[in-house]
Structure 1
């Protein structure tokens, strides 16, 4: 079992390390996304530089990385190799490794994106209902402010609050604690965005571009 968990841990990190935005931009547009826009190798910058189609593909694949890595623990549970409590713990562990892989990808000099999409995939696998509410919060905040970064941070904070107050029933403490850790991580990786928001220099995005 130790070797199985070790192997799945490595696989989770490698899944997260897949540099979707970089590979897609290079192979289909001849552009290294890290040299354009904000320089971030993530879905938001891909939307901004390469458009909706490219951004949607990168967003989906980056979220899928987190979802699949988190779901690896469910395979062990399905084959009755672990109990449910251990399954939840391993879901958190594998999902977190995928996020680390996205932040520090081995395939591109350990310089990746901010992990929001991969985190989204992870929380969808961990707690679909809370994740969907968080997505709705993101859309509202983004729709009002036009700041993807602000929407991401607020949504990440809402997720553990929903679990803390038992909106969907009693939750496993480990999941709640990790929810707060993820919120901290998202806010931390967006610390420069916070500065730019207060300075009024943060890039805005629009779901429906205004016609000139």
Structure 2
């Protein structure tokens, strides 16, 4: 029974992560498939670029929320007695990672999704909200100084496990959180391969901070 319940919630985490708010909102309210414009990704950044800051903000909040929700499903396993409380962090990481993968490879849209940064942020907010908020601050600082969304995303993703590793106050009792942090940073880098190549070539688009769009 416990294994079935764990599997059911794992599937639910993937289905939640697969919700393509960028695609669905773009088609329903603007008659636009964001995957056919801009970077071709169905994430918040491309929504900002293609549709503007209001729909972009809505998509970002929804992507963060679905990451938080997928991760928080692990709490029900404790409530139903399927896992011991001390194992909660492990299942939070597993379900959160499944939610991020759902965003990157959504079943509803032929497995073509976004880069998973906002969903990853929601996952981190569910597990370590203070550290996640610090990563948001780091992202904003990098964005305003460099005007590169991709660079800010990657540095913020790296900051999460580094803060856990180097700051005694945030050092977790279970090192698996740090290990997962570095793994998820690697996933962010992999999903930003094209951005990295453009950054190296000096061809990456800069964000127009005032308008909330990219030039």
Q: Same fold (TM over 0.5)?
A: yes
Q: Residue 48 of structure 2 aligns with which residue? A: 47
Mapped partners of 2:120, 2:170: distance in 1: 22
Residues 133-212 of structure 1: pairs in structure 2 closer than 5 A: 133-171=134-172, 172-209=174-211
CA RMSD of aligned residues (A): 1.3
Q: Residue 70 of structure 2 aligns with which residue? A: 69
What TM-score do you get using the length of structure 2 for normalisation? 0.94
What TM-score do you get using the length of structure 1 for normalisation? 0.95
Give the superposition deviation at 1:84: 2.8
Q: Cα–Cα, structure 1 residues 132 and 167, in superposed 2: closer, same or farther, change >3 Å?
A: farther
Give the superposition deviation at 1:79: 4.5
Tell me, yes or no, if the aligned pair for 1:19 and 1:102 is still in contact at 8 Å.
yes
Q: Cα–Cα, structure 1 residues 209 and 58, in superposed 2: closer, same or farther, change >3 Å?
A: closer
Residues 99-138 of structure 1: pairs in structure 2 closer than 5 A: 99-138=100-139
Report the count of equivalent residues. 210
> Which one is further off, 161-170 or 67-76?
161-170
Q: Which ranges of 4 or more aligned residues in structure 1 deviate by more than 4 Å?
A: none
Mapped partners of 1:167, 1:25: distance in 2: 44
Mapped partners of 2:128, 2:53: distance in 1: 27
| 1:38-91 Cα distance to aligned partner (Å, 9 max, x none) | 111100000011011100010011111110010011122245542233111000
Give the superposition deviation at 1:169: 3.8
> Which 5+ residue runs of structure 2 have no aligned equivalent?
none
